[in-house]
Amino acid sequence: MATIYAVGVGPGDPELLTRKAERILRSADVILAPASNPAEASVALDIIREFIDEQRQQIIIHKFPMTSDRSLLVPAWQEGAELLAAHAEAGRSIAFITIGDPLFYSTFIYLLRLLREQWPHIPVEIIPGISSINAAASVAAVPLVEGDEKMVVIPATAGTAVIEAALATCETVVLLKVKPRYGAIVELLRKAGKEQQVTFVERVGSVRQKVLTDFEQIAQHTPDYLSLMIIK
């Protein structure tokens, strides 16, 4: 029986992969890459192409719908877990790749639960990756926390009331998934007088990376899905 690996491939720059992640990716028999639409490129797969041999290794792109509808998500999670388990039980090492880190807002979290419940005998190893938060702070040279400061990470989909409360109690607020509520977030930050404390980062580590600190530019921008804000 082989091992199932969950490999965090970082936010976009292949040079940000760990040496261990590269070693696992080069040696795995099968690579399972998530995509919201199989007809489109997998972001995670694009990051690691230089480390894999598509002639020797089997590359599988599996669809995980970009939705909150569990009637669509649960079957996709189950199919993904079954794919991982089937290859491992057949003796093929398989690496599930995910942008960022496998245990930080990652689809792999749901697969891991299923694997533990249904295939507890299969070994699973998790290779951590650099999150978009750390990468964004680095490219923008924004210290996240120091001393006794507190930081909170909030998916913007949690709503403006949650964000407003965090702004009042924490020195650093990181907002993920800002696209769906971008206009409301911009207005909340303006109302809270945080215009000079916002850093917006999009597609960090990729050729499409964008860093904005001017609030009016931020307000007028149309964000990509892979965007975040750091409010100090």
| Per-residue pLDDT tens over the stretch 56-90 | 999 999 999 888 889 899 999 999 999 999 999 99
CA distances from 96 to 28, 63, 74, 119, 218 (A): 10, 13, 17, 16, 34
Q: Residue 66 has what pLDDT?
A: 82
pLDDT per residue over 77-131, tens digit each? 999 999 999 999 999 999 999 999 999 999 999 999 999 999 999 999 999 999 9
Mean pLDDT score of the chain = 95
Place of tokens 């007809």: 39
Question: Is pLDDT of 38 > 80?
Answer: no
pLDDT per residue over 163-182, tens digit each? 999 999 999 999 999 999 99
Q: Residues in the chain, how many?
A: 232
Q: Residue 61 has what pLDDT?
A: 94
Question: In this structure, which amino acid lies at residue 115?
Answer: L
Q: Nearest CA to 232 among 153, 160, 162, 145?
A: 145
Q: Residue 39 has what pLDDT?
A: 62
Contact 1, 88 (CB under 8 A): yes
User: Which domains does the chain carry?
Assistant: 4-127 (3.40.1010.10), 132-231 (3.30.950.10)
Q: How far is CA 6 from the centre of its chain?
A: 13
